[in-house]
Structure 1
Amino acid sequence: MPAAYPLDHPELRFVTASDAALPLIVVPQDHLSEALDDLPTAHANWALAQGFSGRAGETCLLPDAEGHVVAALIGLGPAKAPARVRFALAKAVSTLPEGDWQFHHLPEAARFEAALGWLLETYRYSRYKPAEAPKARLVCPEGVDAARLEAFVAGEALTRDLINTPANDMGPDELEAAARALAASFGAAIEVTEGDALLANNFPLIHAVGRASPRAPRLIDLRWGEAGPRVTLVGKGVCFDTGGLDIKPASSMGLMKKDMGGAATVLGLARIIMGLGLRLQLRVLIPAVENAVSGAAFRPQDVLVSRKGLSVEVNNTDAEGRLVLADALALADEARPDAIFCMATLTGAARVALGPDLPPFYTDDEVLAGALAAGAATQADPLWRMPFWAPYETLIEPAIADLDNAPLGGMAGSITAALFLRRFVTETARFAHFDIYGWQPAAAPGRPKGGVGQGARAILAAIEAAILSGEGA
């Protein structure tokens, strides 16, 4: 039986500084000659013989006279050129031999990303078979808050673990169990509304989407903190998406274990917030369902009435994520928190527009938008603002219902989905929606192929800058 969550990742921590830590000397590509001049002649000649050029992430081991490694060089790339590879210095994790390492001559502006990338690169998913972690360990660079970064990475590891788990072991039951384990770890309260109780408690869209599966749909409601601003995180928890009766082709169904990436990301962000002990009243809402095919499945052209009272014509059962989010957002909005953040692996249109690595976000709040953009830049967590474009509102208004869950034509799909969700948040001034991918298609520094969190660090920075600080309130 695979282990329950959260998995322990003891490798995702820094080591204590000591005289035994080996120097990892950072070399800007456009200052290679000066850097080599500062080395002993034997080491400089060795680096030149190895063809070391200072390219971003390039390493060169430096031996002593007996052939023992006593230091290493790592390239920073061009100091004045925009970085083309995020977490480039994390490449060293898999190339350096076992031991404790400490950056030398690392520019202050690069320390946060270098330290974060190192820990993220150390992550391994090991639920089903052993996965040996790299043996090179890092001393946290001076001026970087080690405990804060370790909290970031613990949250990211939880997100990755949840997304990486296949749907046979990560259905609504298991997602609830993971949320309960997280709540127990931090003394949070949790309530779950399941199955037909969803109808009795006025969550008709969550029930409709999940009722075809033998794995009962549910709404997970986690609460933590008794003082401070009220922040609600809402995450799409579609544990597998066949597309329903508008069934997906096999080529589109292959990655649908990640369709609960929004839920995984908000749980990871909650793990960070609670781990840091922020002065917040945190609420996490996750509609957890499996969009399956059976005689009980909801149908194309069904008209469903939401918790908000808005009627929705279902023109594609594969646009189910916005349906379950609608009921959860309506519940969140009723409490009028200081801010609502919604995260979902929602549309292919967002991937076509921006690719897998750059999630769009939507908000009408200019202060929050600025804080999110700033957080994305400073936290190595890229985002791109997209508009709630009012002229497209008519596209989500069908003839026989208030809303259409899948407008014909396919144009502006991410925007129309965001507009749909905004209809369910009318009482809360600060609302932001994130259309994330939740998956790393090919291995990159700090991001192995597989599940990945997106936006959590940027949201945390925005919460601290624009909500906890009272700015713009």
Structure 2
Amino acid sequence: MPLPLFAAPTETALPLHVVDQPGLAAWRETQPDAILAWLDGLGFTGALGQAVPLPGDGGAPCGAVVGYGSREARGRARFHLAAAAAKLPKATYKIASGLPQDQAEVEALGWLLAGYRFERYKTQTPMPATLIAPDGVDANAVAAIATGEALTRDLINTPASDMGPDDLEQAARDLAARHSAKIAVTMADALLAENFPMIHTVGRAANRAPRLIDMRWGDAGPRITLVGKGVCFDTGGLNLKPGASMGLMKKDMGGAAAVLGLAHMIMASGLPVQLRVLIPAVENAVSGNAFRPGDILTSRKGLTVEINNTDAEGRLVLADALTFAQEEDPDLIISMATLTGAARVAVGPDLAPYYCDDATFVTRLETAATQQADPVWRMPFHAPYETMIEPGIADLDNAPKGGFAGSITAALFLRRFVDQTAYAHFDIYGWQPSDAPARPKGGVGQATRALLKTIAEMSAQ
């Protein structure tokens, strides 16, 4: 998880000027002729992502200027300072001018996230430029978010050969130890004895035993329960995925990775909440005892589920975990899962679609998402589609035929296991398909920063 954090203040830090295109002319009036000639020679226009070191005496850089573009250009992207940070020469920089105060925290976070490298299997070239936390920015709070996001990325990027249910459990145990949290794990046949039948059924065909991870932290404040889908690899089961669809299935535990990253942010920030994290950790494998299409399972809640596709397994393991979460009647339940391809068809990889009927939560989350450059998109629990998940011979159908509204029907399925309004479900992708500022190709957290701020507001009441 190599992640350069903020540099300590130093007198040798180079000043970094942030210049947008509307303000370029005014800024140029403050610069000497030699600097202007240098910038003109390099074609500096203040465009978003431009980065130019400024020459000092003897040829060594005496500072740098980065382009902040126009309002329109910034509206089409995120983490604008990060786009330039990777282009700067090795040095420690301090913001000298031009960065709007209301954007300082997000841009500073973007700089840190741009320095993320996944190095478990190969040494990567580090980002040379480091940043002193801008004035007015809580460096520790931003660092907590960055390290939580790095944890999420590391977990998703690790292949299933090294990130099975046992490895995911160990990652949770390491996090619990770091923050003095309590953790309990129910696994293998104990899942049947403790009434988690669908978690056991989905995971029983794999060599590595299925389990339910239960982590707790905090003893005061609102009771927040995070439930993350931990399918460490998804072959599709007996409804075997084609090879092209199986290639990224190491990321099918992205929901678990996201809630662990969010849990770190909450605990490292010291939020006054009673946090619980539930992760059903399984592999959806193929063997002689794999569950079959046509099987009817009885869930922890007592609802029966007809299996019409073994590749719709995530909602099954989440159902038992959500029922378990509901039994303590928390103030808020949040589930996060790489649940449906339909969500990606609807909104693409950049947005985190979510479902929630709690108006207060929705308002807080939407505001936080904008402030944190962590976009979300509300989807409907559309009640008329309830009949689509009712097969007739069982209470529920895990994979309605027809292909319509796949993300909505999955969310409706999950809602059957939660008996409260204060429930939010996030159908995330968990993967950055190509390099972008502060988001290299690979595993990525979605909605966690927006959720952190939302939960912080809840805890402050």
* TM more than 0.5: yes
Q: 2:7 aligns with which of 15, 32, 44?
A: 15
Q: Say which of 85, 110, 118 aligns to 2:77.
A: 85
Mapped to 2, the partners of 1:96 and 1:51 lie a distance apart of 16
Corresponding residue for residue 446 of structure 2: 454
The correspondence of residues 392-471 of structure 1 with structure 2, limited to 5 A, is: 392-426=385-419, 428-465=420-457, 467-470=458-461
Give 1:306's aligned residue. 299
Q: Mean Cα displacement is larger for which, 192-201 or 131-140?
A: 131-140
**1:80 deviation in Å?**
5.9
For residues 421-473 of structure 1, the C-alpha deviation after alignment (integer angstroms, 9 at most, x for no partner) is: 000001x33100000000000010000100000011111111122x2133xxx
Aligned match for 1:346, one of 339, 349, 352 = 339
Partner of 1:163 in structure 2? 156
Query: Residue 358 of structure 1: which of 344, 351, 355 is its match?
Result: 351
What is the match of residue 242 of structure 2?
249
Query: Does 2:255 match 1:265?
Result: no
Query: What is the 5 A alignment of 1:100-111?
Result: 100-105=92-97, 106-111=99-104
Name the CA distance, whole Å, in 1 between partners of 2:93 and 2:192. 57
1:216 and 2:209 equivalent? yes
Cα distance in 2 for partners of 1:145, 1:195 equals 44
Task: State the distance in 2 between where 1:166 and 1:131 align.
Answer: 18
Deviation at 1:82, TM superposition (A): 5.0
Partner of 2:42: 50
Moved over 4 A (4+): none
Choose 23-32 or 369-378, whichever is displaced more. Answer: 23-32
CA shift, 1:83, in A, is 1.9
Counterpart in 1 of 2:60?
68
Q: Distance in 2 between matches of 1:228 and 1:184?
A: 21
Percent identical pairs in the alignment equals: 61
**Residue of structure 1 in register with 2:87 after alignment:** 95
- Per-residue Cα deviation, 1:76-116 (whole angstroms, up to 9, x for no partner): 01046652111121022321111110122211122112101
How far is 1:60 from its partner?
Answer: 1.2
Amino acid of the structure 2 residue aligned with 1:18: T
Any conservation in 2 of the 1:12–1:150 contact (CA below 8 Å)?
Answer: no
Output the CA distance in 2 between the equivalents of 1:455 and 1:385: 12
State the alpha-carbon separation in 2 of the partners of residues 307 and 395 from structure 1. 22
> Secondary structure of 1:288's partner?
strand
TM-score (norm: length of structure 2): 0.98
* Cα distance in structure 2, aligned partners of 1:180 and 1:65: 53
Instruction: Structure 2: state its 5+ residue gaps.
Output: none
Contact 1:103 1:141 in 2 (8 A): yes
**Do the aligned partners of 2:354 and 2:377 also contact (CA within 8 Å) in 1?**
yes
One-letter code aligned to 1:24: L
Provide the residue aligned with 1:322 in structure 2.
315
Residue identity matched to 2:236: G
User: 1:199-236, CA deviations, whole angstroms, 9 ceiling, x for partnerless residues?
Assistant: 11100100110011011000000011111111000000
In structure 2, the residue matched to 1:297 is 290
Deviation at 1:399, TM superposition (A): 1.2
**Amino acid across the alignment from 2:55:** P
Matched, 1:384 2:377: yes
Q: Partners in 2 of 1:135 and 1:115 — Cα distance?
A: 16
**8 Å Cα contact 1:360/1:385 also seen in 2:** yes
- Amino acid in structure 2 at the alignment position of 1:20: T
CA RMSD of aligned residues (A): 1.1
Aligned residue-pair number: 460
Report the Cα distance in structure 2 between the residues aligned to 1:228 and 1:180, rounded to whole angstroms: 23
- 1:167 is paired with a residue of what secondary structure? coil
Mapped to 2, the partners of 1:23 and 1:402 lie a distance apart of 64
With 101-110 and 368-377 compared, the bigger mean Cα shift is at 101-110
Matched, 1:24 2:16: yes
Amino acid at match of 1:469: A
Where does residue 176 of structure 2 map in the other structure? 183
Matched with 2:112 is 119
| C-alpha deviation, 1:65, in angstroms | 4.2
Deviations 1:353-400 (A, max 9, x none): 100000101001000011110111111111011110011111001110
- Write the distance in 1 (CA, Å) between the matches of 2:90 and 2:235: 45
Pair 52,82 (structure 1): closer, same or farther in 2 beyond 3 Å: closer
Matches of 1:70 and 1:272, distance apart in 2: 36
Q: Does 1:236 align with 2:233?
A: no
The separation in 1 between residues aligned to 2:400 and 2:17, in whole angstroms, is 55
Q: Distance in 2 between matches of 1:39 and 1:64?
A: 13
| Unmatched segments (≥5 aa) in structure 1 | 1-6
* 1:19 Cα deviation after fit: 2.3
Contact in 2 for aligned 1:63/1:69 (Cα 8 Å): yes
Using the TM superposition, give the Cα deviation of residue 131 of structure 1 relative to its aligned residue in structure 2, in angstroms. 1.8
Does the CA-based 8 Å contact 1:30-1:79 persist in structure 2? no
The offset of 1:302, in angstroms, is 0.6
Q: Is the 8 A contact 1:24 1:72 kept in 2?
A: yes
Q: Would the aligned equivalents of 2:67 and 2:84 in 1 still touch at CA under 8 Å?
A: no
CA contact (8 A) 1:29 1:79 kept: no
- Conservation of the 8 A alpha-carbon contact between 2:259 and 2:277: yes
8 A Cα contact 1:87 1:446, kept in partner: yes
Find the counterpart in structure 2 of residue 4 from structure 1.
none
**Which residue of the other structure, out of 129, 135, 144, is the alignment partner of 2:122?**
129
Q: Per-residue deviation at 1:261?
A: 0.3
Q: Deviations over 1:223-277 (max 9, x none)?
A: 1111111100000000000000001000000000000000000000111111111
Tell me, in whole angstroms, the C-alpha distance in 1 between the residues paired with 2:74 and 2:83: 18
Q: 2:218 matched to which residue of 1?
A: 225
Q: Is the 8 A contact 2:74 2:80 kept in 1?
A: no
The code of the aligned residue for 1:361 comes to Y
Q: Deviations over 1:20-47 (max 9, x none)?
A: 1111111111222222122111111111
Partners of 1:12 and 1:154 within 8 A in 2: no
CA distance in 1 between partners of 2:71 and 2:184 (Å): 51
Does 2:275 align with 1:274? Answer: no
CA distance in structure 1 between the partners assigned to 2:73 and 2:440 by the alignment: 25
